[in-house]
Amino acid sequence: MFGVRSKNRNWSRFVPSRGGVVPIATADLTTASDQTLTVAQLEAGVLTRDPNGAARTDTTPTATLIEARFPGLQVNDYFCVFLINTADAAEAITLAGGTGVTFSNVGQTLAQNEAALLLFRKTATNAFTVYIIGA
């Protein structure tokens, strides 16, 4: 998870250091089917996705699962995840929200070799709005 903004000071491990370097990990997903993303994949901070043969619709974890993994998030806190479409052909990725997760720009897709920043903002208990920036 990259760039958390929270009033809770326990999130300091996700805040950029004074040197400007943020330790992040990459989760790689190459399955040939639609997927439900995991909280661990979101927490990695960078998700590379190869749709592997066709366009895919991937679904976020539920808001309940996200909140359970990050219990310190308060309303209007947010975290960001980079999503990169690594397709080797014209295979788009469409995102859908799990229960309690709403996309502000529904229907936006990531085409081959596009990347986007997904900003997950907590809007209420067990509720998040996701903003897709850059696709």
Q: Convert the pLDDT of each residue in 11-57 to its tens digit.
A: 444 444 444 555 567 778 788 889 999 999 998 889 999 999 999 99
Q: 58 with 34: CB under 8 angstroms?
A: yes
Q: What is the enclosing helix (H) or strand (E) of 62?
A: none
Q: What's the rounded mean pLDDT across residues 94-109?
A: 92
Q: 46 with 26: CB under 8 angstroms?
A: yes
Q: Which of 11, 25, 16, 9 is nearest to 82 (CA)?
A: 25
Biggest alpha carbon–alpha carbon distance for the chain = 43
Cα torsion angle, 87, 32, 98, 109, sign = positive
Domain count within the chain: 1
Which range marks the domain in which residue 11 is found?
A: 2-133
